Amino acid sequence: MENRLQPRLPIFRGYPTVPRPVIPLGLETLYTICRQIYPDQPNPLQVAALVKYWLSGPDPLDYISMYSNPGNPSADIPPHWHYISFGLSDLHGDGRVHDISGVGTPSGFGFELTFRLKREPEERVPPTWPAAIMQALAKYVFQSENILVAGDHVSWHCPLDNSESRIQHMLMCDDPQFGTVPTPFGSVTFIQIVGVCAEELQAAQGWNGPGIIELMKSSKA
């Protein structure tokens, strides 16, 4: 007798796969560099712009990653939070934010910002006020097209953390762990923000920022 039964359809057990979002090449390059510095923190906490800048959002930085740095007791460096910005350099390479560039030229504005904040013993989650400072500085850079380099100083005239602190201004220096790195869309220098008091700002204005930062390091040692 001829078998007229239809073949059984395969039964799919499980859920349909969802494609992973494509990470822009410039951003992925910077993420890779961060993973080299912090291999034990592949997915750090982030502050993200709710509406991206190229979609008419107000915040130029797409993301700010926040890493837990153990410090270095032998160098008198305490455990701290390490904030890294993404957006002052060209993350996409397609002209949506920055002019298209390539190897041998600065990527976007040619730098990203970093910030280090001493971690309190009981802290498990990093404060987000440094991210707000970084976004505010990025807005200044985008609006004025004035880049920030090591040795620059910024008069802020209010406590950086909105407290009663005397630390109300900033100096810029090279980040000691990152320096300058190549990307497919040009070079990126990581510029670290250092909070200072009015006396240190005045000394930097009358002398030079890098010299003041070196004095601050030696006075801590």
Contact 61, 86 (CB under 8 A): yes
Residue 5 lies in a domain: no
Total domain count for the chain? 1
Q: 126: which residues sit within 8 A by CB, 6+ positions away?
A: 45, 66, 68, 81, 83, 117, 119
Please state the rounded mean pLDDT for residues 39-63. 97
Residue 7 lies in a domain: no
Average pLDDT, the chain: 91
Residue 1 lies in a domain: no
Residue 8 lies in a domain: no
Residue 79 lies in a domain: yes
What span, in angstroms and rounded, lies between the C-alpha atoms of 94 and 112? 19
What span, in angstroms and rounded, lies between the C-alpha atoms of 192 and 7? 66
pLDDT-derived band at 212 (thresholds 50, 70, 90) equals confident
Please state the rounded mean pLDDT for residues 5-28. 68
pLDDT-derived band at 205 (thresholds 50, 70, 90) equals confident
**pLDDT tens digits, residue range 59-92?**
999 999 999 999 999 988 999 999 999 999 999 9
Residue 12 lies in a domain: no
Segments forming the whole domain that contains residue 119? 25-218
Q: 5: which residues sit within 8 A by CB, 6+ positions away?
A: none
Please state the rounded mean pLDDT for residues 16-39. 88
Contact 202, 168 (CB under 8 A): no
**Residue 212, SS3 per DSSP:** helix
Residue 170 lies in a domain: yes
Residue 101 lies in a domain: yes
Is pLDDT of 10 > 70? no
